Amino acid sequence: MPEMMPAVAVRPGTPHSLHPTSLPRPAAGPGEVLVKVLRVGVCGTDMEIIEDKFGTAPPGAEALVLGHEVFGVVESAGPGAAMAPGTFVTTTVRRPGDCPPCLTGQGDFCADLAYTEHGIIGLHGFMTEHFVERPEWLIEVPAALERVGILTEPLSVVEKALQQATLIQRRIDSWQPRTALVIGAGPIGLLGTLLLRSRGMDVVTVARRAAPNAPSAIIEAAGGRYVSINDESLAGIATTLPPIDVIFECSGNARVAFDATRVLGNNGVLVLLSITGGDATTPIPLDQINREFVLGNKVMVGSVNSSRVHFEAGVEDLARFERLWPGLTERLITRRLPGLDAWSQITQRERDGIKTVIEVG
């Protein structure tokens, strides 16, 4: 019998089926490394999978092991694997299909949606003790970032968002974004705020909770401004600002995403980062939105997941954040669960919490 290791999984198709399980303990083969999991992040995507809004088990399996945000250390290397034991790593989540973008290294732009994704679609995640991977899918993280390296995956999402906005705006030779709006103050919104602030932009971050709170303190420490949407509407906030050049929509609320189209400045870019799992409908002023986008040369673009280049940028920017605001990034991690045995606490919401991490190692 193979040696088994603990894991945490759901049964796709069954809401709220979170449960402990086990997997065979892997060994590194030729060209592979064995990674010891030190930490796994918990995010809104995990919550939606637990609620059975989406999620697919691997072929032939009834359960899907959760966890797509991982930080670990290389424990051993198989023959021919060029990565030394002791290296801290994270890993890209999506494994490409065979469409043209996937075949050219851009699985995050998979054209036929035939990709697999660790802990989400067709591949077990990292909420366990070890996994085996090829070095080309691993990203090295400096030891100095050990406490915050788990944030690389969510940071990679906004790294891609900023990259896409910048690529789009190459159409304007003089484009120099100065004013940004971030909607949502969860981990993605907060990391987006830090990223935009690190590029010198004036940033207003909008969320529901009234200040003061943990997110508002982080935003203000980075030189941003926090506003509760319960105190002031997006339209009202926009009247206090210069034209808004960039909006990151991270709220998880599709209505708010379309409200954002009304406050985007001329020649601006609205990047949609929320995946909303429901089927809500609402009237929207189509003619006005169309007119304003055409006359104002505005752009709205969706951005999902990220590729290796965005993970690498995330590692670089985590180091930049530490130089700009020492110790600030780690304040996003407001709860560290003591091991996989604490699996039942994953779904418990903490007052004024931001990010939950399971300390597996």
Please identify, in words, the CATH class of the domain defined by 4-140+328-359. Answer: alpha beta
Q: What is the pTM of this model?
A: 0.95
DSSP 290-327: HHHHHHTT-EEEE-----HHHHHHHHHHHHHHHHHSTT
Structural domain spans, the chain? 4-140+328-359, 156-302
Average pLDDT along the chain, 361 residues, taken 10 residues at a time: 93 96 96 98 94 93 97 96 95 91 89 91 97 96 98 97 97 95 97 98 96 97 96 94 97 88 96 82 89 96 93 98 98 97 94 95 86
User: What six digits make up the tokens of 224?
Assistant: 């941003």
User: What six digits make up the tokens of 163?
Assistant: 């990259």
- C-alpha pair distances (Å), 229 with each of 251, 256, 273, 312, 318: 11, 10, 19, 34, 28
Residue 5 has φ and ψ, to the nearest 5°, of: -130, 150
Q: Right CATH number for 156-302 from 3.40.50.300, 2.40.50.140, 3.90.1180.10, 3.40.50.720?
A: 3.40.50.720
Q: What was the pLDDT predicted at 277?
A: 67
Q: What was the pLDDT predicted at 320?
A: 98
Do the first three CATH levels of 4-140+328-359 and 156-302 match, i.e. the same topology?
A: no
Q: What was the pLDDT predicted at 282?
A: 82
Q: What was the pLDDT predicted at 181?
A: 98
